[in-house]
Amino acid sequence: MKIATRIGFVSLFLISPLFLQATAFAEMLEGRVVRANSQSLDLRVYDPQGRPYPNTLNLKVDAYTRVTGVSSVSNLRTNDAVSAQVYQDESRTWHVDRVTLFQEMNARPATQNPPPSLRDVLGNPMVRGALLGAATGAIASSTSGGKAGKGALVGAGVGAAAGLLGQMFSQNSKSSQNSDDQR
């Protein structure tokens, strides 16, 4: 009896895939329309970094295909940005369940110029000179027995002036090199 039961379970396990047709799960794709008509939609699909794949994907459209953003698939134009929910049937044909046309947005940034970052501030030679001078002045003043605060203040002033002069001379040398290159 146990052998017959095991054979029954094994045969059920082996034969059931023949009766239950395997279908692929639906996938969401984003891309641009290459060609569209009432029976098919050719789509250029993009990877997550926004680079297009080299080939186009041919999707079959049927009466059950839902469309958002336009009245029908045939009203899609070349290069329209769309999202498509697709699945592949047993014959390895891709079908589209839903197509959504992305709407173009004309958004302006909230601020015209972004605030300077720490990298921008520290990239300025005058600021770098002031910070370096303040650190040097504070260390030198405290090791010699003076007040570190006054040394830092003096060092920052000297460092800022040195940074400003260095920036002025480097701009003059660059402009003289450019004029020499043009001759």
Structural domains of the chain, with CATH: 23-101 (2.40.50.140), 118-174 (no CATH)
Query: Are 103 and 122 in contact, with CB atoms under 8 Å apart?
Result: no
For residue range 119-166, list pLDDT tens digits in order: 666 667 667 777 777 777 777 776 777 766 766 667 767 776 776 666
Q: Using pLDDT thresholds of 50, 70 and 90, give the confidence band for residue 17.
A: low
**Token match 């079908």: residue?**
95
The residue with greater pLDDT, 147 or 84, is: 84
Q: What's this model's pTM, rounded to 2 decimal places?
A: 0.46
